């Protein structure tokens, strides 16, 4: 059970890009765990590391060092993804609204994967690719090229928590992707890391939530809005 979870995040400043605009009309104030120190990858890129406890196990999720905002809406209710919170099943099947700090002249790739398929103890099918959109101009996902249509989480009963991770990458320009012809029937055993390396994609932002079947109530940890997190990370 995901109780008494301790979440430790490491955040760095945003990537050096030309003047950005927010791809949504306003930036949402989402709840996120507290950042503690600055870190970078071996290549000098920003990185966000989220460490938490799942029972007796120490779990780490490494993400690019900025925030991709993800919101699931079911009727009049909305749940926001914030670095390891648990989402209820009622929201799983709905394609989420995703936005980020986007530059209008840059193309992006958005990936959603489950590395814990069919279970974290036996992830023989991971990463399972839930969503893949490429050649996104600026922050407009609807104008991007969908290689893998969104399919919501469906964790098998009794397999514990699964991590559902969103990776946002910056492309060097428009790309002709050769994966499109087999994406419709092959979602399992995907590697976001290898995909990014193959196409020279740069990590831009990330986020993730957890889910299991049957679900539990999420645990509320110390909460900070986006601006507070950025201020802490920039110190």
> What phi and psi values does residue 118 have, to the nearest 5 degrees?
-80, -10
Q: Does residue 54 lie in a domain region? A: yes
Q: Does residue 1 lie in a domain region? A: no
pLDDT digits (tens, 9 = 90+) for 162-191: 889 999 999 999 999 887 655 555 888 899
Has residue 61 got a pLDDT over 50?
Answer: yes
Highest mean pLDDT among 66-75, 83-92, 226-235 belongs to 66-75
Q: Does residue 111 lie in a domain region? A: yes
Residues 131 and 151 sit within 8 Å (Cβ to Cβ): yes
Element (H, E) at 172: none
pLDDT digits (tens, 9 = 90+) for 18-49: 334 434 323 333 333 333 333 444 454 445 55
User: What domain range is 31 assigned to?
Assistant: 8-234
Number of domains comprising the chain: 1
Question: Higher confidence at residue 222 or residue 214?
Answer: 214
Mean pLDDT of the chain, nearest integer: 72
What's 212's domain CATH number?
A: 3.90.280.10
Closest CA relative to residue 98, chosen from 230, 14, 207, 220 = 207
For the whole prediction, is pTM greater than 0.85? no
């Amino acid at each position: 059970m995901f109780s008494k979870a301790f979440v430790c995040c490491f955040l760095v400043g945003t990537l050096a890009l030309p003047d950005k605009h927010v791809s949504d009309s306003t930036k949402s104030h989402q709840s996120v765990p507290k950042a503690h120190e600055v870190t970078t990858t071996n290549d000098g890129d920003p990185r966000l590391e989220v460490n938490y406890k799942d029972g007796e196990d120490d779990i780490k999720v490494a993400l690019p060092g900025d925030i991709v905002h993800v919101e699931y809406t079911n009727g009049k209710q909305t749940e926001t993804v914030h670095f390891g919170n648990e989402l209820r099943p009622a929201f799983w099947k709905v394609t989420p609204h995703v936005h980020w700090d986007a530059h209008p002249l840059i193309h992006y790739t958005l990936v959603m994967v489950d590395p814990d398929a069919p279970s974290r103890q036996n992830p023989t099918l991971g990463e399972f690719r839930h969503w893949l959109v490429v050649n996104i101009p600026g922050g407009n996902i609807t104008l991007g090229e969908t290689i893998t249509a969104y399919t919501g989480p469906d964790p098998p009963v009794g397999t514990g928590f699964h991590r559902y991770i969103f990776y946002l990458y910056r492309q060097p320009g428009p790309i002709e992707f050769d994966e499109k012809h087999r994406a419709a029937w092959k979602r399992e055993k995907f590697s976001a890391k290898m995909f990014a390396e193959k196409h020279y994609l740069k990590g831009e932002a990330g986020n993730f939530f957890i889910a299991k079947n049957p679900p539990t109530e999420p645990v509320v940890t110390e909460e900070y809005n986006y601006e507070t997190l950025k201020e802490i990370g920039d110190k």
